[in-house]
Copies of this chain bind each other. A is one copy, B any other.
Amino acid sequence: MIVDCAVYEGGHRRNGSMTLEEAHQASRESSGFVWIGLFEPSEEEFDSIQREYDLHPLAVEDAIKAHQRPKLEVYGDTVFVVLKTASYIDPEEIVRLGEILIFLGEGFVITVRHGQASNLHDVRERLEENSELLAHGPGAVLHAIVDKVVDDYGPAIGGLQEDIEQVEEDVFSDSRANVAERIYRLNREVLQFNRATGSLMEPIDRLAAGRYELIHPEVRTYFRDVNDHLVRVHDQLEGFRDLLTGVLQANLAQVGVRQNEDMRKISAWVAMFAVPTAIAGIYGMNFEHMPELGWSYGYPMVLLLIVVLCTGLYRYFKKVGWL
């Protein structure tokens, strides 16, 4: 689906939307560039674009099928960038990944969104308001998109952090919940998120290092800033992994301790009941000669003995922490 298609000259958008052909025509005649925005295009929709801008078939295949790793490839004069976007679905504690694929050439930017990827409409609008930046050409568009994608990692990171803190609290509270599954699932999301963002650092680094002529020197500094942001995201995700590993071990320990406490309490109660049973058993024996049986206060004395012993045991168990 073609979402938007416009020509930009000297940092300004030529009024109105246009068809692909008009845009191609316009860009060839002027010094500006076309920006075509697509959403999950079919092979047929992409066909004419591929031919007009002479895109490499391998990159086109990737752009249509998606499910790529973040990467930056150079095919002839065209730079092809794959980005993973992330958003946090809090109720399910899931990091939902989307994909944005960008073709960058002299005179054109083609962006392809797949799944629940970050919204590029906002990016376009904000850029159109900043004609100075937009005048730096396709590289400025690439930066704006990457910047948006990396900024959008922020809320996902925040959502994960909140849930990890909740889990931490659960583990060290007196609650008897077993959060093993929740920790496992959070860890899986963190791993997946880290894989999606980790491989983006190297391409951004290359962009910041100024290895592509398509990227205006002024824009390179901005990529350095994005990279810095990305490293911070990566650091935080690594930190989450360490925390989750630690919290899992702590949970195991806490669950074990709590279960053992239960067993100990039950056993201590059983032990306490064994005392009256044993004493009563003795006075339930049928010997003919058991002087205590004839005593007037034999029965209350035995009851007293039982009470005293059980109370003593109870206190002792309390003292050593078994009850």
A residues contacting B by CB (< 8 A) are 56, 58, 68-69, 71, 73, 75, 172, 176, 178, 180-181, 184, 187-188, 191-192, 195, 199, 221-222, 224-225, 228, 231-232, 235, 239, 242-243, 246-257, 259-260, 262-264, 266-271, 273-278, 280-290, 292-299, 302-303, 306, 320-322
Contacts and interface: CB of A to CB of B under 8 A. Distances in A.
A294 B288 contact: yes
Copies of this subunit: 5
Contacts of A188: 243, 246
Given A180-B250, A180-B253, A184-B250, A281 B276 contact: yes
Contacts of A282: 276, 280, 303, 306
Given A56-B221, A58-B221, A277-B278, 15 more contacts: A58-B225, A69-B231, A69-B232, A180-B253, A180-B254, A184-B247, A187-B246, A191-B242, A252-B253, A257-B259, A273-B275, A281-B281, A284-B285, A284-B286, A289-B299
Contacts of A192: 239
A293 B298 contact: no
Contacts of A297: 289
A33 to B, nearest CB: 24
A195 B248 CA distance: 21
A286 B291 CA distance: 11
Contacts of A294: 288
A264 B172 CA distance: 22
Nearest to A248: B249
A195 B239 contact: yes
A47 B168 CA distance: 42
Given A188-B243, A285-B302, A299-B285, A262 B71 contact: no
Closest 6 CB pairs of A and B: A280-B281, A273-B274, A283-B285, A287-B299, A284-B284, A259-B260
A222 B180 CA distance: 44
Interface of A is mostly: helix
A74 to B, nearest CB: 10
Contacts of A252: 249, 252-253, 256
Given A225-B58, A274-B273, A264 B266 contact: yes
Contacts of A195: 235, 239
18 contacts: A58-B221, A58-B225, A180-B250, A184-B250, A195-B239, A252-B253, A259-B260, A262-B322, A263-B264, A266-B267, A266-B322, A267-B267, A273-B275, A274-B277, A281-B284, A287-B295, A287-B302, A289-B296
A216 to B, nearest CB: 15
A266 to B, nearest CB: 5
Contacts of A283: 285-287
Contacts of A231: 69
